[in-house]
Amino acid sequence: MTITRDIMTPSPRCIGENDSLHIAATVMSDLDVGALPICGEDSKLKGMLTDRDIVVRAIALGLDPETTPARALAQGKPVTVDANDDIDVALERMQEHQIRRVPVIEDHLLVGIVSQADIARSLSAQQTGGTVESISQ
């Protein structure tokens, strides 16, 4: 049995809920990633922020990236998996919610991220293909 912890990327970089979208975009550029978890001052996950969120939901709507905090784009409760969940749980959540990455939680704290790339590197071609196909519909 493969558990989520086995394939996740550990210790993801968070963007603070009060950090500006400009800071978030700079961190994404520096890390060459398309998404960052938004973490609160209590170190708990508050949401996910993607490069698409910044462009489509902020810039296109005229929000100032210098003054708009990351928390302004956090919507609803983030979809997560537990570090000890079977990897099938992560795949099902990614498919159900059509998301390319899912935060991994342990003891209410963010400990990792499972992305499509993690799946492709670690699981069978059939599991990878099925997940990517479902996410991309």
Pair 20, 66: CB distance under 8 Å:
yes
The CA-atom distances, in angstroms, between 51 and each of 79, 124, 125 are 18, 29, 27
CATH architecture, domain 4-135: Roll (3.10)
Map out the domains of the chain as residue ranges: 4-135
Single pTM value for the model:
0.86
Torsion from C-alpha of 2, 130, 120, 98, nearest 10 degrees? -90
Task: Say if residue 113 is exposed, middle or buried (CB neighbours under 10 Å; 0-12, 13-18, 19+).
Answer: buried
pLDDT tens for the chain, residues 1 to 137: 889 999 999 989 999 999 999 999 999 999 999 999 999 988 889 999 999 999 998 999 999 999 999 999 987 789 999 999 999 999 999 999 989 999 999 998 999 999 988 888 887 777 777 777 777 77
Instruction: Give phi and psi for 85, each to the nearest 5.
Output: -70, 150
Per-residue pLDDT at 136: 75
d(CA 46, CA 89): 21
